[in-house]
Structure 1
């Protein structure tokens, strides 16, 4: 090396700095890759992504190769810089070469390339994988020896080489990932994906129509009243009973009798023949499970019963789907007016509105572990039937009862507290 011209030495030093920058940027680029995007591109047949995935599958070998190459290059660069300094400045130039090379390596072989790789990992990691993969085959014995010695050194400290790490996300982590999807996913689609994840926490109790609000057909009623209920109904599916809901007969789809109803040929026997057997589900059934049950049984409506078999409410497939996509159906249009915004910023809310729906639509944090509706929540906190206009604070909201019917809270006014209130 002492006989080489200075020009050649400078060229060699420049080449070594470039190679050092290559190894440094390769390391950062591979580590900064989005693992889920990487899997997607591997599935699409991207060769660079496939090579990068193989390198990342065994990180000890990948880091061993990169660090081995980087250190060899940096040490060789230091030796060449020392020779150049001795020729130009004598023995006093050693300090100059050390400082100068440190600055050059730091800027051109570390900070700049690593920053670039962190900003554009795919542009750096994928091309680098084409070089690192065959290089690993050539230098594998040296890499294996280095890793073996490092593992032996760490063993007394209880550090052991683990198996292949599988990237996985919990439900909450996946929720955060979807929520922060940014411009890659539209706001509406992000919200639907989040609602699907949140569906796991809900039960049929959260979305069912309470027993007292169920609208149906009483076969013991006068025929004129039955006809009025059929022709004036806003629902396409209705439960049918005798006397009261505890004596349920079945479920009726208006479509099965519409032709006879239009031709005025419907009678009690024809109505009874159109009634389908009732479908019961236990309270507390998770919404995800119930949606699959509706699908497998080809049903869209079920009656929710408690442990004693008493009917507590009614749940439909539309109720569950609305938990995902929001309110979309015109069936039961009255139920869509559960919330009305006031000019002063407050809300008029129906007592039968579910807490889960309010939390989702208004971004509130009302407790859902106990009562499921506004009516139940207020009674739970008061521990008695309210007398007249009563106000109470629950969480960050002030609830004021404005209307009661038959010991049930029909309407409440809700005012959200400001931080300074």
Structure 2
């Protein structure tokens, strides 16, 4: 067929050709809208809404029922494509006879893929919020018209699935806000748009609801406390030598906490006229201890610290026995990492070795190792690295005993009674130099 004949054919069937073009445009609109409403960020929509973009609110209401909207758009897109292909097939059959079916298939595949799929989806992916805002009101009309039919089809699908023993929930499971935010930050970190430190801070905030006070507390075995029965000068020296501003005061037994001494209160007492270090009564100036359950989650404990304007609490178990202490700084360090000052010890319990291994104190928290070294050791069953080794080995290991799990080789270097106090950690594939 010559070009003149083809042009004459298109002119003769002008209404059909115009209908095909309009349906391709409509299919492009539906495909782009579906992509934009899937990729749109509700946070950016909120920003646009605050800036006065009224259509952003329309988009936000649409994606509250994202499953219904996407179903309606997909159904409408399929209907339009089928109709466009049917009209084109009839047109080509009348012009070319039986081979027209093949010609129509090739032509419509190219047109629909290029102009109704790749082009609009690429545009929508490049600027999802702007695209979604632009199509918000037309999409609302499409959903109102096609939505009931989409719901009917969904009901039929559920009935068929149930007949084969599969039960689908009526609402698709959605990510929680925390999960969505965490996933977005992890993705941006992998893409290089968010540095590790910022990712860790955001994750620390999101983890507060999942962690308990017992996960971050200073265990009573590591607590630095004052004995009320010691000579006053001894306790004054202990406070001045300590890197901490608050210290528990006990009497009779180490877990019988009768007060908490603040270094500032001690200095005020020593500044009084005629005050002497060997006469000051630390019990009188100590503050009343505040006890909190070890199962309190960190978000609630942080709120309690802020509400009480307090920085220090004694942690007790369900039987009222002292387990340790927790401070406001401990919780903040879960968000921002270690907060070190000039009085903090330089060594945090992790000692890099020349052979690439690490010597680690048994009491180092797993979360601190994961954060500092970008590891992913589990901390659900144990809080410290020694606890992890004991949990995984199901025994109290002997010195020089080694275990391999989670891609690491753990070698027990020192054990005191039933406590692992020092470990060597290296990648599982590494072998020590001979």
2:54 maps to which residue? Answer: 47
SS at match of 1:105: helix
For residues 225 and 274 of structure 1, the distance between their equivalents in structure 2, rounded to whole angstroms, comes to 16
The alignment status of 1:20 with 2:20, answered yes or no, reads no
SS at match of 1:215: coil
What RMSD over aligned residues (CA atoms) do the two structures have, in Å?
Answer: 4.3
Identify if the C-alpha distance between structure 1 residues 251 and 335 changes in structure 2 by more than 3 Å, giving closer, same or farther.
farther
Structure 1 residue 215: Cα displacement:
1.5
Which deviations, in whole Å up to 9, do the C-alpha atoms of 1:73-129 show, x marking residues without a partner? 87478647855874xx57568547634642453344433334424533344433233
**Contact 2:20–2:88 (Cα < 8 Å) also in 1:** no
**Contact 2:218–2:326 (Cα < 8 Å) also in 1:** yes
2:183 maps to which residue? Answer: 176
Structure 1 residue 254: Cα displacement:
0.6
For residues 20 and 242 of structure 1, the distance between their equivalents in structure 2, rounded to whole angstroms, comes to 82
**Contact 1:38–1:53 (Cα < 8 Å) also in 2:** no
For residues 224 and 53 of structure 1, the distance between their equivalents in structure 2, rounded to whole angstroms, comes to 67
Structure 1 residue 206: Cα displacement:
2.6
Identify if the C-alpha distance between structure 1 residues 235 and 4 changes in structure 2 by more than 3 Å, giving closer, same or farther.
closer
> 5+ unaligned residues in a row in structure 1: which ranges?
none
Identify if the C-alpha distance between structure 1 residues 161 and 128 changes in structure 2 by more than 3 Å, giving closer, same or farther.
farther
1:255 maps to which residue? Answer: 264
**Contact 2:249–2:260 (Cα < 8 Å) also in 1:** yes
For residues 10 and 357 of structure 2, the distance between their equivalents in structure 1, rounded to whole angstroms, comes to 85
Identify if the C-alpha distance between structure 1 residues 110 and 236 changes in structure 2 by more than 3 Å, giving closer, same or farther.
same
SS at match of 2:360: strand
Paired residue for 1:112, among 108, 118, 130? 118
Identify if the C-alpha distance between structure 1 residues 74 and 47 changes in structure 2 by more than 3 Å, giving closer, same or farther.
farther
1:416 maps to which residue? Answer: 427
Which deviations, in whole Å up to 9, do the C-alpha atoms of 1:329-376 show, x marking residues without a partner? 327623852111112111122232223433443344556455543455
The alignment's TM-score, normalised by the length of structure 1, stands at: 0.77
1:192 maps to which residue? Answer: 201
1:235 maps to which residue? Answer: 244
Paired residue for 2:297, among 275, 286, 290? 286
1:129 maps to which residue? Answer: 136
Identify if the C-alpha distance between structure 1 residues 235 and 64 changes in structure 2 by more than 3 Å, giving closer, same or farther.
closer
The alignment's TM-score, normalised by the length of structure 2, stands at: 0.75
SS at match of 1:358: helix
> 5+ unaligned residues in a row in structure 2: which ranges?
1-7
1:66-85 residue pairs with structure 2 within 5 A? 71=79, 75=83, 79=87, 82=90
**Contact 2:31–2:77 (Cα < 8 Å) also in 1:** no
For residues 151 and 214 of structure 2, the distance between their equivalents in structure 1, rounded to whole angstroms, comes to 58
**Contact 1:250–1:277 (Cα < 8 Å) also in 2:** yes
